């Protein structure tokens, strides 16, 4: 299907651009029959693109309350049989994991630099309960390494994010990886993606 500004409410050009490179990597990384909980699905473009191309996946999209009507409207229009209805998952709620059955993969794109650091910590705090044994966490987005941005444009993006909301900002890979290790996850891969983004892959030990 064609994912463009005419087909998706709130269409995200960035999500459309990075969808295909991420799909290529997911195709390599996944067995193809996983249950996937997506955190911060946004417009649902990734859910529709990935679940549409990897039909053995069962995709569970989620987002905060104010995003759900738009997300669900897009899923109603484009979602296939292997995409569940959108669910409320707000990392400002410390019990975000309550009532969730364990999943094989938690996937989240372009979210850690939007939400505050406290919410990032809350995400990792309950991963152990939400992931199946050998379950994976895959995070896509920009990161700093040794406190250095990977490009001048990412440094400018960080300034822009912080001016818009002081709790936002590009995260330090080392700090996020420390949270992952505390949660019993081991880094499997750190893949350089187009436009100075990374695809980080952890697995539950
Ligand atoms: C830049 S958008 C990315 C959307 C989509 N993943 C993509 O790549 O196009 C950031 C998303 O994070 C979600 N988000 C922000 N704060 C959140 C929180 N506390 N808990 C869960 N999701 C949150 C927003 O609602 C939004 O959908």
Domain ranges in the chain are 13-204
Whether pLDDT at 5 is above 80: no
Closest C-alpha to ligand 1, atom 23: 40
Whether pLDDT at 2 is above 90: no
Q: What is the mean pLDDT of residues 150-165?
A: 98
Alpha-carbon distance of 153 to 29, in angstroms, equals 28
SS3 106: strand
Ligand 1 centroid from CA 113, angstroms: 9
Ligand 1 centroid from CA 90, angstroms: 9
Ligand 1 centroid from CA 145, angstroms: 23
Residue whose structure tokens are 């420390």: 178
Predicted confidence at residue 6, as pLDDT, reads 74
pLDDT in tens, 31-62: 999 999 999 999 999 999 999 999 999 999 99
Q: What is the mean pLDDT of residues 112-134?
A: 97
Cβ-contact 196, 154 below 8 angstroms: yes
Whether pLDDT at 104 is above 70: yes
Atom of ligand 1 nearest to the CA of 140: 8
Whether pLDDT at 1 is above 80: no
Predicted confidence at residue 36, as pLDDT, reads 98
Residue 194: burial class (beta carbons within 10 Å; 0-12, 13-18, 19+): exposed
Pocket test residue of 5, 9, 60, 63 for ligand 1, highest count of atoms within 8 A of CB: 63
Give the residues across from 108 on adjacent strands: 139
SS3 122: helix
Average pLDDT, the chain: 96
Give the residues across from 172 on adjacent strands: 144
Residue whose structure tokens are 């994912």: 3
| Superfamily name with CATH number, domain 13-204 | Vaccinia Virus protein VP39 (3.40.50.150)
Q: What is the mean pLDDT of residues 92-112?
A: 97
Pocket test residue of 18, 96, 114 for ligand 1, highest count of atoms within 8 A of CB: 114
Distances (CA, A) of 120 to 3, 81, 171: 29, 31, 10
């Amino acid at each position: 299907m064609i994912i463009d500004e005419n087909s998706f409410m709130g269409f995200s050009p960035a999500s459309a651009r990075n969808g295909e490179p991420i799909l290529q990597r997911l195709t390599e990384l996944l067995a193809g029959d996983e249950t996937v909980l997506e955190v911060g699905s946004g417009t649902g473009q990734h859910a529709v693109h990935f679940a549409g191309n990897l039909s053995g996946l069962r995709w569970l999209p989620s987002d905060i309350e104010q995003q759900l009507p738009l997300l669900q409207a897009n899923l109603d229009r484009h979602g296939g049989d292997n995409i569940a209805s959108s669910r409320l998952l707000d990392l400002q709620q410390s019990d975000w994991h309550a009532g969730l059955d364990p999943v094989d993969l938690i996937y989240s794109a372009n979210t850690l630099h939007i939400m505050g650091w406290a919410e990032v910590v809350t995400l990792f705090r309950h991963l152990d309960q939400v992931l199946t044994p050998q379950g994976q966490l895959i995070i896509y987005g920009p990161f700093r390494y040794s406190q250095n941005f990977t490009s001048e444009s990412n440094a400018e993006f960080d300034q822009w994010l912080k001016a818009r909301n002081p709790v936002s900002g590009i995260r330090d890979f080392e700090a996020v990886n420390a949270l992952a290790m505390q949660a019993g996850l081991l880094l499997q891969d750190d893949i350089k993606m187009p436009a100075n983004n990374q695809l980080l892959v952890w697995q539950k030990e």
